[in-house]
Amino acid sequence: LESNVFVPTDGTTLAVARTAGQSTRALIAAAAGEQKALMVSGLTTVPAGSRLDYTIVVPNGTLFRVGSASGLGSTTQLPPFAVTGTHAVVFAADTTTTQSAFKVGLLAGVALPVDGGAVDLALANPGEAARLNIAGVAGQNLGLGITGLVLSPTSAAYAIIAVHKPDAGLLASISCRVDGTQCAANLTNLPVTGTYSIIVQPASGATGSLQAWLSRDATGALASGTSLRLTLARPGQNARLTFPG
């Protein structure tokens, strides 16, 4: 079934419901160089656990991206759009699926400043994710910290935090647990200058909230026979020390 409905970019979602053999075509208003993440949430299928595939093409019909969603939903960081114009995205459940329903949206993200205050994130609906943006500079050494992770239901013990390079390639990934362990990532020697994206996806489609921090590495110089006192005052912050040799 074709649709002239555009996928929202304002934080809302487009609801879709289909029966066996039906696919859905929606539209993306793209601008060259723009970066977005495609979020599929609230996914339900009959039988349960079926996969939802999607294909995105540019205005001339050339393939831009393929992907899939499973569970209650998945979010994929897209590479920058190469051209300005209306892109089409087609969603199709696998051949065993007799019914499917889901929501789709495009995440623009919110800025996570270096050495700024924590950014609060809330994930209110099952299967949803959140996106943060970092203005990265080639050669920077940064530390990402996650605090206050709370998930519902409590059986969802972690959230996946994936950091993507400006071309959407994966830079780092951690599974931050609600007990506070494994909740920091060392972003060493950023390869290029540009917008880096962080996708926060709770396990098992859970809802919840958290705080994100981004810090420059604390630096210092070590001298033989002399101690050096360092203070790491921010969650996820690293220390980077030099010494003669």
The arithmetic mean of pLDDT across residues 115-140, rounded, is 97
| Cα–Cα distance list, 13 to 23, 79, 117, 122, 163 (Å) | 18, 20, 29, 16, 23
Could you give the count of Cα atoms lying within 13 Å of 47 in the half-sphere of its Cβ? 2
Instruction: Tell me the C-alpha distance between 127 and 40, whole Å.
Output: 7
18-32 pLDDT tens trace: 888 788 999 999 999
* Angle formed at CA 32 by CA 28 and CA 33, multiple of 5 degrees: 110
pLDDT greater than 70 at residue 1? no
Q: Write down the pLDDT at residue 32.
A: 97
Buried residues in 224-236 as b, exposed as e (16+ CB within 10 A): eeeeeeeeeebbb
The pLDDT confidence band at residue 94, using thresholds 50, 70 and 90, is: confident
- Would you place residue 126 in the very low, low, confident or very high pLDDT band (cuts 50, 70, 90)? very high
pLDDT digits (tens, 9 = 90+) for 56-74: 999 999 999 999 999 999 9
CA 55 to chain centre: 19
Rounded CA-CA distance 116/111 in Å is 10
211, pLDDT greater than 60? yes
Q: How far apart are CA 80 and CA 165, in angstroms?
A: 11
173, 160 contact by CB (below 8 A): yes
Measured distance CA(96)–CA(110) in Å, rounded:
38
pLDDT in tens, 216-237: 999 999 988 888 888 899 999 9
